Each structure stands twice: as structure tokens, then as C-alpha cells.
Amino acid sequence: MITSKIIANGILKAIGFLALIFILLYFLYQIQSVIIYLVVAIILSMIANPIVEFLRRRFKFSNTLAVAATLVLFILFIVGLFSMFVPLITSQGNNLSLLDTKAIEERLISLYNQLSTYLESHNLDIDKITQEANLTSKFKFNYFTDFFNSIIGTISSFGIGLVTVFFICFFFLKDKVQFIVGVKKILPNEHEEKILNSIEKIRGLLTRYFVGLIIQLTIIFILYLIVLLIFGVENALVIAFLCAILNIIPYVGPLIASVLAGVLTMLSNIGSDFQTVILPTTIYVSLGFIIVQIIDNNFSSPIIFSKSVNSHPLEIFLVILIIGTLFGITGMIVAVPLYTILKVIGKEFVPDNKIIKILTKDI
């Protein structure tokens, strides 16, 4: 017989369980950066492991030396990549005066005056429009410098995160035997083969994904550069590079890149006639960027998402949306690799689940 005491105990247990879940989720939210570092380190370890094994077998390196040499190769690759672009970005970035509030303000005022003159020639009063919409009080020139300073802050955080990831990755690779032994102790023996299969599948899928991503960004960079050079935009190389890097952020990145390209194109042409030079050039560049994104959305992205990680574009979109909502921009960047890992684990450990069967039918 169900008594009021039993019902009360059931309610209390349910409340306690929900409270524990809430505390756990809050704790995970607070340490989200650590979780992301661990996930990225695991992914990097899987990609680096074949190189480590090659150095050990081919050149008879010790395990520690092979791990250190592999990570040094990764670091040299990153440094080499930045050494190619940073001097150019620095020199051309100075021409853009991105961090000079006064220079930006002067350029924007000049642009505003030219826009006002252009609209007046078409019987539109921009001052009246801005006063009625109360835009002047809402608009501040330091929004632009704050935006670019936030980018620099993100780059600094990226540098700290990169060091942390390499530190964790070193021990993952160096002590991988101990980690595997530890995992074997935690899980029953019958799961050993499933774990090894999962690791091998994850490594293969993620390697293909990151190679595809690099190819995609390179193609986008070249196409952006071609568009900017065709219309004679100054600082074309640095603008194309910045906009291509923004495409790392799924869906949102290309939109930001288009707006950024439009603004920088207008600022780069300050001093020219608004109606015959600035406005047409900005429109053409924007249309060119839209065409590039159409090419990317219909060719590059489907190849990466569908071929490399075997996931439907809509599936990927929902995953990025959910993880991005929970963890922000960083979550959007790592969403696809993390989702791929979870899919592979699900297929190995719960292959009979109906949902898992649907999601992993192509893996």
C-alpha cells in the first residue's frame, strides 16, 4: 500500500537526484575550458600517435624522445605557418590602423559624410533618419576597436590553451600504456576490443576531418584573395587571411567574415568617390564573398562533413547549434570532433540502440 510517507520519500529522492544533476552540469560548465583542453589533447594525441610509432619503429627512438620529436614537429609547423603570415599581417594591419581609435573615427566620419552626400542626392536625409532612430547615441566608434581588441584577447587565450593542450598531449602520448592499463582496470575485460576499435576509428575519422578542414580553409583563402584582388582592394592578403580563419567557426564565421570584408573594403577606399568607387566596390566584394560561401557550402563543407566524419549536414548543424549554445564559440569549433568521438563510442558499446543505429549507419 502506498502511503504518504513513501510518496514524500519518492519526491525527496527525485528532488535530490535533480539537484545532483544540476550541480554536475554547473560544475561541468565552470570547468568547460579544462574539458575542451582535454578533448583537444585527446584528438591531437590520436593524430600524433602514428608519427610517434613511426619514429619508434623506423629510427629506434625511445618512447619519450619520439613523443617529444613529434610535438616539436607540430610546434615547428605552427610556428612556420605563423612566421609566413604574421609579418605580412603586422605590416598590412598597421596600414589598416585597426587598433587606432582616432584613425578609425576619422575614416568613419569621412565615410559618413560621403554616404550623407550620396543619400541627399537621392532626396534622403541621413541626419533626420539617424535622429528619428536615435542611432547616434547607440553608436560608438570604440565598438570597432573593442571588437579587434577582443580578437587579440582571443588569440592570447588561444596561445595559453595551445601550451596547455601540448602539455597534456605529451603525457597522453608518453604514458599511453599506463592510461590504457588504467582504462582496462576500470572497464570489464570484454570491452577491451571495443575500446581499441573505437580508438582506431576515431583516429582515422578525425585525421581525415582535420586534413579536409585545412584544405577547405586554403581554398577559401585563395578564393577570397582572388575576389579582393579583382576589385583592387588594398591589404587584400591580410583581409583574405582573416576572413578565411573566421571560417573555422561553423556557420557564424562566414557571416562575420562577409561583414568584416565589407567594412574593411570601405575603410580601405576612404578618399575615393563614394558613388563611383566605394559603394560599387563594397557591393562587388560582398557578392564575391557570397559566391565563395555558396561554393564552400555546396562543395567543400559537404565533403568534409559527409565524407570525413560520415554525418549528415543537418545532423552536424544541430550538433553545432546545441554545443555552441552551451559552450560558445569554442564549443562550435570542437563540436564536430567531439560528436564524432561520441558516435564511434556509441556504435561500439551500444550498437543495438535504435537511435545509435540511425546515427552511425555510415560509420
pTM of the model: 0.66
The Cα 118–Cα 201 span in angstroms is: 59
Amino acid letter, residue 347 = K
Q: What angle do CA 57, 63, 65 make, to 5 degrees?
A: 100
The Cα 220–Cα 223 span in angstroms is: 5
pLDDT of residue 227: 93
Burial class (CB in 10 A: 0-12, 13-18, 19+), 108: middle
CB-based contact 78:203 (threshold 8 Å): no
Query: H helices of 175-251, where?
Result: 176-186, 192-230, 236-246
- The C-alpha cell at 308 is 570525413
CB-based contact 48:169 (threshold 8 Å): yes
- Tracing cell 579587434 back to the chain, one arrives at 148
Give DSSP secondary structure letters for 112-137.
HHHHHHHHHTTT--HHHHHHHHTHHH
Radius of gyration of the chain (CA): 26
Nearest to 204 by CA among 330, 363, 54: 363
Q: Which residues of the chain have pLDDT under 70?
A: 1-3, 81, 83-108, 124-158, 180, 183-184, 187-189
Sign of the alpha-carbon dihedral angle for 331, 336, 339, 341? negative
* Phi, psi (rounded to 5 degrees) for 61: -70, 150
The CA distances from residue 321 to 121, 325, 335, 336, in Å, are: 44, 6, 9, 11
The Cα 86–Cα 89 span in angstroms is: 5
Give the distance, in angstroms, between the CA of residue 30 and the centroid of all CA atoms in the same chain: 20
pLDDT of residue 98: 45
pLDDT of residue 131: 58
